[in-house]
Chains A and B, each alone.
Chain A
Amino acid sequence: MAKARTFLWRGGVGAVFTVVLLPMLAVMYLSFFDQEVVSFPPDGYTLRWYVNAWEQREFSRGFVNSLQLAVVATVIGVTLGTAAAYALVRARLPARGFVNTLLMGPLAVPGVVLGTALYVMFVQIDDAIDFQIVATLPGLIAAHVLLTVPWTVRLVAASLAGLHPAAEEAAADLGARPWTVFRRVTLPMMRSGVVAGALFSFIQSFENLELTLLLVGPGRSTLPVAMLNYLEFRVDPTLAAVATVQIVMIGALMLITDRFVNLSRVVS
């Protein structure tokens, strides 16, 4: 009986994993097909799509652009988001629920809507005070910070909520000033939340298409935008190759992060 239940449980978990992972595995598999128009079974296997991706200048430039953008947006978003989460959990803010909802907002609004709204707003600002934000890097970074803040706030607040303030009080009692308490006690204790926030922020920003598409400047395409552009002219497994590289990269990033903090503990 117990055995049957264990079997069912494992089977269920396995099924869920398969459903989640299957598309990813399929993409990885496709990237090795030796034909332009994908069909099954494949004619043979090749690495030429990887070579082709490597030779596309748009992809390498896009990759560098995406990387820069994601790093900057993550640094800014994690700093702001951590501060906001700390205030939300520890300070008795009067409009706490409202502020929290506001900070989570960008997660609830579809990316295209958010992007359009930002585009319109940037144009209005340009009209009003003659200050160009549309199609500039700072404008794009600001938009991506909107993506990184909610993730950080959510993850840091979750890790902070489980911490009893007594350790911080103990530090203050032993002579630590507020900033020292934060740096030496609070921050290390919510480290896993901050690291997880940074990881998710980075991924969100790196792979974002909708916002970027509407706000990006000419010649500054990010990798997702470059991929979309490529798709307009050719449909071959090159994109699958690029996606595979991304999947492997992000997977590696997660594994490395997991070595330092227990991600599953923070995220669940």
Chain B
Amino acid sequence: MTNLVIDGLRRTYGATVAVDRVDLEVAQGELVALLGPSGCGKTTTLRMVAGFVQPTAGRVLIGGTDVTQAPPYGRDTAMVFQGYALFPHMTVAENVGFGLEMRKIARPERETRITEALRLVRLDGYAERRISQLSGGQQQRVALARALVVNPGVFLLDEPLSNLDARLRAEVRVEIRALQQRLGLTTLFVTHDQEEALTMADRLVVMDRGRVRQIGSPEELYERPADIFVASFLGRCNILSGVLEAPGSFRAGGLLLPSAGERPRGPAALAVRPERIDIRPDGGCLPGRLTMVTYLGGMTEFHLETPAGPVLVTKPTPAQGDPLRALVAGDTVHLDWHNSFGRLLGIEPEGDLP
């Protein structure tokens, strides 16, 4: 059983704190995604696990063994790099076989495993190609195969999809996830694409300026974000600031809005997902004037100006004849949502928002 434990990991560069006391456990066979804005310390965390960056403080344990002081070649990890980092002077098969060779695996077994790995990433028949003769997507698969073939204790990926076009990215995303599950690999995945994180990961770690904001399943983080940062980083979210006057009565823009959750009285923010808001002709809790209606095919976005601030509502595009379909900018409507969809959160200083 190979799990990964990150314990109080910290790394500073001069006065910059790149990673600040990160604690995390990745269970055997689990895929955890590190997610956060640029410069929040995702890559640095990953590189400390791989052994390329020495932590200032804290420990890394792989399968229960403390490897904090071990060099990269002494750790049972395999990493897929952002730019793939393939060996340009070797063929596809030589690239994939490199890790096996380093592990002193005999040639016959090596060849079987290379063939198997290439089949796994659907590159059979490409074994003798040069790296320069491959497309970006194919190179990406070679990088995957090269890491997977050694059957690593911990599988690390640093934005492996960022060089691919949108269509290929969606495809490879599913492939990586399927492989990871089939092989039961303990995986740490870095991305700044929230959709990627939501669709692939068992659990997400949202980071901000070196620190962990929240750890949880995609559902937990999306439905029950711990703070405004997480709420607005993952998916889109309406954040309405106001005051909590008494339990259950949150007032913003002079209106009482439906809310749930315990918080001390005083200034607070209400987070409501755009798809949870209903639009009615009248009788809602919050009146608003439409400023823009954006048709996105399957979905339609309604941008509104309300006493509590700008609000975004997304709905599956209404059918012909639905009154919503007739709405145009300038119309006045009422908004409403169930209590449980209005999540009370603490106010944060301006600069702390993504």
Contacts and interface: CB of A to CB of B under 8 A. Distances in A.
A188 interface: yes
21 contacts: A164-B83, A164-B85, A166-B81, A167-B85, A169-B50, A169-B81, A170-B79, A171-B98, A174-B73, A174-B102, A174-B146, A174-B150, A175-B150, A176-B98, A177-B73, A180-B102, A184-B98, A185-B87, A188-B87, A188-B89, A189-B87
B83 A166 contact: yes
Interface string B25-54: 000000000000000000000000011100
Interface of B: 50-52, 71-73, 77-79, 81-83, 85-89, 98-99, 102-103, 146-147, 150
A175 B75 CA distance: 8
Interface string A180-199: 10001100110100000000
Give the 7 A-B CB pairs with smallest separation, nearest first: A175-B102, A166-B85, A174-B99, A170-B85, A172-B72, A188-B89, A167-B85
Contacts of A172: 51-52, 71-73
A55 interface: no
B89 A189 contact: yes
Contacts of B86: 167, 170
A173 interface: yes
Contacts of B72: 169, 172-173
B173 to A, nearest CB: 22
A175 B87 contact: no
Contacts of A169: 50, 52, 72, 79, 81, 85
B103 A175 contact: yes
B208 to A, nearest CB: 26
A250 to B, nearest CB: 28
Contacts of A173: 50-52, 72-73, 77-79
Nearest to A169: B52
Interface size bracket, A side: 10 to 19
A236 B237 CA distance: 92
A173 B158 CA distance: 13
Contacts of A180: 102
Contacts of A176: 73, 98, 102
Given A166-B82, A175-B103, A189-B88, 4 more contacts: A172-B71, A174-B102, A176-B73, A191-B89
Contacts of A175: 73, 99, 102-103, 150
A170 B81 contact: yes
A172 B71 CA distance: 9
A167 B79 CA distance: 11
A167 B73 contact: no
A170 B85 CA distance: 7
B280 to A, nearest CB: 55
Interface in A216-267: none
Contacts of B73: 172-177
Contacts of A191: 89
Interface in A42-100: none
Contacts of B89: 188-189, 191
Contacts of A171: 87, 98
A173 B98 CA distance: 11
A239 B50 CA distance: 63
Contacts of A166: 81-83, 85
Nearest to A171: B98
Contacts of B83: 164, 166
Nearest to B98: A174
A166 B52 CA distance: 10
Contacts of A188: 87, 89
Interface in A17-56: none
Nearest to B80: A170
Which of B72, B88, B103, B147: most chain A Cβ within 10 A?
B72
A38 to B, nearest CB: 50
Interface string A98-134: 0000000000000000000000000000000000000
Which of A166, A173, A175, A177: most chain B Cβ within 10 A?
A173
A138 to B, nearest CB: 36
Contacts of A185: 87
